[in-house]
Amino acid sequence: MSERTKNYMSHETAVIDEGCSIGEGTRIWHFSHIMPGCIIGENCNLGQNVVVSPGVILGNNVKVQNNVSIYTGVICEDDVFLGPSMVFTNIVNPRSAVVRKDKYVQTLVGKGASIGANATIICGNNIGHYAFIGAGAVITKEVGAYALMAGNPARQLGWMSEYGHRLRFDDEGFAICPESGENYRLENGKVRKISG
């Protein structure tokens, strides 16, 4: 894309390869590398030293903090937050001497999910929408929507609202987000937002 028709911002030290798609209003900062065949949505922010590999898909308004590598096989839906130095993997059993480029495992990060600094997501373990992965957590299994995960290996500590607050459910399984006032229902081990 020529500089004249470019509708995103990239720092002069960023490397933007031909054949990638970058949405309007996206900002790409120092020393980042955007590789061919990836798709980055509108109004994303990619911090310093970020790598986006071929085939990666980032939705709209995805925030990627410094020192994050997003490897082939990762898909992030809209409004995802990736904290500083968090890690994705994309091969279950990597070996330097064994080429497994046709064995990449997909990981889907659902809308609105947040992954904390230095967390590690083992490939193939999808993250549910609005889940909250604590700093340093190691995800070794699927994460449900609205789940709060922490530790190594990560375990579920509770539930989070779409505004990022811990949900406290009453005896009937109802909770209210203290910031937004939105209502949530816990039923059969799953949380959903309910209308007013």
Per-residue pLDDT tens digits for 26-56: 999 999 999 999 999 999 999 999 999 999 9
4: confidence class by pLDDT, cuts 50, 70, 90: very low
Give the residue numbers spanning the domain of 182: 167-196
Print burial letters for 60-88: b (CB count within 10 Å at least 16), e (below 16).
bbbbbbbbbbbbbbbbbbbbbbbbbebbb
Does a structural domain hold residue 50?
no
101: confidence class by pLDDT, cuts 50, 70, 90: confident
Does a structural domain hold residue 190?
yes
3: confidence class by pLDDT, cuts 50, 70, 90: very low
Selection from 146, 179, 174, 173 nearest residue 160 by Cα: 146
Give percent of the chain with pLDDT exceeding 90. Answer: 95
Q: Is the pLDDT of residue 109 over 50?
A: yes
Does a structural domain hold residue 184?
yes
- Say how far apart CA 190 and CA 27 lie, in whole Å: 36
Does a structural domain hold residue 12?
no
Does a structural domain hold residue 196?
yes
Mean pLDDT for the stretch of residues 147-154: 98
Does a structural domain hold residue 173?
yes
Does a structural domain hold residue 181?
yes
- Over residues 180-192, the pLDDT tens digits come to 999 999 999 999 9
Q: How many domains does the chain have?
A: 1
Does a structural domain hold residue 154?
no
196: confidence class by pLDDT, cuts 50, 70, 90: low
Residue 1, token pair as written in the block: 């894309």
Residue 172, token pair as written in the block: 């009937």
Inter-residue contact 134 to 148 (CB < 8 Å): yes
